[in-house]
Amino acid sequence: MTDKPRRLAAISMLLVAGILAGTQLGKIAPLIGWYRDDAGMSLVAIGWLTALLGLFVALASLPASFAISRAGLYRSFVLSAVLLFIGGIGIATFESPTLVLASRLVEALGYLPLVIATPALVSALAP
């Protein structure tokens, strides 16, 4: 049996992970009304919630790339996927503005390494 089917499956899973990570960028906007009316968040807090991911990416991309280089692509990918999952669950379950913002920060900590490591992993797996 050749290694090609396993490589294609791994590349497919990495692409799906990248697509799912990309959905994190726009998932807050449809929930603004709920956060304001039901969760009691101010529009300023909702603005921070919306911008936190992009702000973190802008400020931490270079240090994150050095950390990924030291830790390794696979380990960084797995850890970032776990952080992204934990942050997403936190955003979905918490109603406290502080906990929601903290969950978004955890999600940002997972998002950045994932979007840096995934293309490198695909490149390493693709012949």
**Predicted model pTM:** 0.87
* Alpha helices by DSSP H, the chain: 4-22, 32-37, 43-71, 73-93, 97-125
Distances (CA, A) of 17 to 32, 41, 78: 25, 30, 11
The pLDDT confidence band at residue 1, using thresholds 50, 70 and 90, is very low
CA 110, 115, 117, 122 torsion-angle sign: positive
Of the CA atoms within 13 Å of residue 42, those in its CB half-sphere come to 4
Q: Which residue's entry shows tokens 């990309």?
A: 22
48-82 tens-digit pLDDT: 999 999 999 999 999 999 999 999 999 999 999 99
Count of Cβ atoms closer than 10 Å to residue 68 Cβ: 21
For residue 119, pLDDT over 50 is answered with: yes
Token code pair at residue 95: 């109603």
Is the CB of residue 4 less than 8 Å from the CB of residue 111? no
